[in-house]
Amino acid sequence: MIKESTIAQQLDHRTIRAFTKQPVAPEIIEQLVSVARHTATSNFQQAFSVISVTDQAKKQQIAAISKQPYVAANGHLFIFVADQHRNQQIGAEMGKTENQLGGADRFLQAWSDTTLAVQNTEVAAESLGLGTVILGSILNDAQKLIDLLQLPQLTFPVLGLAIGWPDQAPQLKPRLPEKFVHFENSYQLPTPVEPQLTDYDAVVHQYYDLRDANRRVDTFTNQVQQRLAMVPEKRGELLAVLRWQGFLLE
C-alpha cells in the first residue's frame, strides 16, 4: 500500500506554523532541493531558483515583511524565486542580448515553474514527517525582500516555504465541495453560489470554533467578501515592482 500513502498524506495536508527546536538536517535540505530541481519545467527552461535564508537577522526582516513572527522561528526558510535572470545571463554570455524574458508569457512560465517546485518540495517535506507553511506574505513588501535577497533584474520572489518538525497538530481545514471547483467540458459554476454554500460555511465555522474558541469564528463566504476589495498598501504596488524587475513591460 506504499502507492496509496502519498495521496493519504496529501489529503491530510495542514499548514504547520510552529516547529520544534530540532533543526532540519542539511542532508534533508539537500534532498528537498533535489526534489525541487526535478519538478516539471516549462520548455526545459528551469526558470526558478531557491534561496535558503539561514541568517537570523535576515529571517527577522522577512518575518517583519510577512508580519508573521513564526517566519523567524525554528523552521528552515526557503524563498522561491521566479528566475529568468539565469537564462538571460547564459544568453548574454553566448552573445545574445535581445530577449523576451520579461514579457507576460515568459514571466508566467517562470512563475509557474517556481510554484510547481514549491508544491513538490512541500509534498516531499511532508512525506518525511516535516511540517510546512507556504508564505504568500513575503510579498507584503516585495521591493524590500528583493533588496534584502539582492534579487537581480528578471527575478521575482514568488512564495516562501518554511519547514520544520511540527510542534502543533491543527485540525484539517475543510475545502470547497467538488461541485464548486470541478467542472466538465466548460466552466459551469452552480449559481447562485452563496445559498448553496450554507452547509460548507457551517463546517468552516465549526473548524474555526474548534481551532481557537477565543477568536472570532468565521465562514468561508464571509472571508471571501471581506477580502474582495482588500489590498494591503504595499501589495498594491506589486505591478510596479514587477516592472521595476523587468517584467510585464509593454
Q: Which of residues 200-219 bind a second copy (CB under 8 A)?
A: none
Cα–Cα distance list, 84 to 43, 69, 173, 240 (Å): 13, 31, 35, 18
Q: Which of 26, 38, 209, 211 binds a second copy (CB under 8 A)?
A: 38
Task: Note whether 157 and 79 are within 8 A (CB).
Answer: yes
Contact between 50 and a second copy per CB under 8 A: yes
- Dist. CA 41–CA 245, nearest whole Å: 22
Select the span of 17-25, 40-48, 63-71, 163-171 touching a second copy (CB under 8 A).
40-48
Contact between 165 and a second copy per CB under 8 A: no
Q: Which of 61, 66, 68, 109 binds a second copy (CB under 8 A)?
A: 109
Select the span of 65-73, 121-129, 163-171, 209-217 touching a second copy (CB under 8 A).
121-129
Side chain identity at residue 99, one-letter code: N
Exposure on the CB side of residue 140, measured as CA atoms within 13 A? 13
Residue 78: other Cβ atoms inside 10 A: 27
CA dihedral 66→70→76→81, nearest 10 degrees, is -10
Select the span of 17-25, 41-49, 68-76, 163-171 touching a second copy (CB under 8 A).
41-49
Select the span of 19-27, 63-71, 163-171, 183-191 touching a second copy (CB under 8 A).
183-191
Cell of 97: 542580448
CA neighbor of 37 nearest in space, from 90, 104, 83, 94: 83
Q: Which is nearer to a second copy, 30 or 199 (CB)?
A: 30
Contact between 169 and a second copy per CB under 8 A: no
Q: Which is nearer to a second copy, 213 or 229 (CB)?
A: 229
Q: Total residues at the site for a second copy (CB under 8 A)?
A: 119
Contact between 129 and a second copy per CB under 8 A: yes
Q: How many residues does the chain have?
A: 250
